[in-house]
Amino acid sequence: MTARERQDETPPDCLRRLVSAPPFPLLRSAIERLERAGLTVALGGSGLLAALGLTDRVRDWDLTTDARAEAVSAALSGETSAFSGNDALHADHKLAFCGGALEVILGFAFFTPAGVVRIPTRVSERRDGLPLATPEGWAVAYHLLGREEKSRRLFQYLKSRGAEPRVLAELLAEPLEPAIAARLAALPTSSVT
């Protein structure tokens, strides 16, 4: 095993507190290959929560992108994937790799009674080299998924750190139910512009 391979096995500092998680090299390799292909990708889901210090368990790595499935498949060529389309809740598509240990969510979106809510892929920051999705977007996503505890953790994080105004504006332009729109609108904003 080369020094590079050993380095790839070691999670970055922001993920070192994890009690359980899929293999980190899988995530690192996927991000590197997707970004090398010129695709914008962001770590979301419980991986985002872990990178922010809000959980110590990750069931699978969730990456979001607004790229097309063909571009993602080409960037990750040689890897076996399973494609899944939308369902009653998800208005997006997914490519699952390594038995579901890594999911690439294509055009992150949800069907709601008021219409399709799109959660655009935006990188809020790079932490230890990882492109992190917006906590604002995932707070809404977890609410729409009925995972209120995870949504609550992200809203608490945003209350203490401030939300990014442009991300809030994008999300508030979506057909959100009034209660979640009010929660977003009530967040303090950060000084990032």
How many whole angstroms separate alpha carbon 157 and alpha carbon 154? 5
Q: Average pLDDT in the 82-93 region?
A: 90
DSSP single-letter state for residue 109: E
Residue 146, burial from CB neighbour count under 10 angstroms (0-12, 13-18, 19+): exposed
How many whole angstroms separate alpha carbon 180 and alpha carbon 193? 23
Q: Average pLDDT in the 89-101 region?
A: 93
pLDDT-derived band at 192 (thresholds 50, 70, 90) equals low
The domain spans of the chain are 3-133
Average pLDDT score over the chain = 92
pLDDT for the residue 1? 27
Q: Going by C-beta distance under 8 Å and a sequence separation of 6 or more, which residues neighbour residue 55?
A: 46, 49, 150, 153
User: For the whole model, what pTM was predicted?
Assistant: 0.92
Q: Which fold has domain 3-133?
A: Beta Polymerase; domain 2 (3.30.460)
